[in-house]
Amino acid sequence: MARDEEVSEAQCVQSYMQLLQNLEQAAQAEGGILSTYHTLLQTRDRLSSQLGYRPSLERWAMEANVPIAELKPTLAAGKRAWADLNTLTVDELEQMIAEGQRAKEHMIKANLRLVVSVAKNIRTVA
């Protein structure tokens, strides 16, 4: 990965991490829909980690103790509130999230390739 590309990717990741931090801080300070939304995202991430794939809406709602009929409207309201918190439109928020996640994955893969390359060279020298 070229230096300019690395800097650009790092900036995308930092922006994404700042969005997440803003959500967490607001969820703790304000409660309400942002707290509910943050809890829903944490539940989804925990389930995804346990299952190895994203949970179904039914499983997600059940784990979060939210009626299935309320899950999607709650997620939409939470995302709108998160976008408002950051003075973004929902589309802009979604784009920043997607770019941040993509950049994070790209950096992880690039660093993994670097580690493997270094390990191969060490093994060759040893």
| Separation between Cα atoms, residue 14 and residue 112, nearest integer Å | 20
| Separation between Cα atoms, residue 90 and residue 30, nearest integer Å | 20
Mean residue pLDDT of the chain comes to: 93
* Residue 45 identity: D
pLDDT band at 113 (very low <50, low <70, confident <90, very high): confident
Per-residue pLDDT tens over the stretch 13-46: 999 999 999 999 999 999 999 999 999 999 999 9
pLDDT band at 126 (very low <50, low <70, confident <90, very high): low
Examine the pLDDT at 2 and tell me if it is beyond 80.
no
Share of the chain above pLDDT 90, in %: 79
Share of the chain above pLDDT 70, in %: 98
Helices (H), 1-126: 3-30, 32-51, 57-64, 68-85, 90-125
pLDDT band at 67 (very low <50, low <70, confident <90, very high): very high
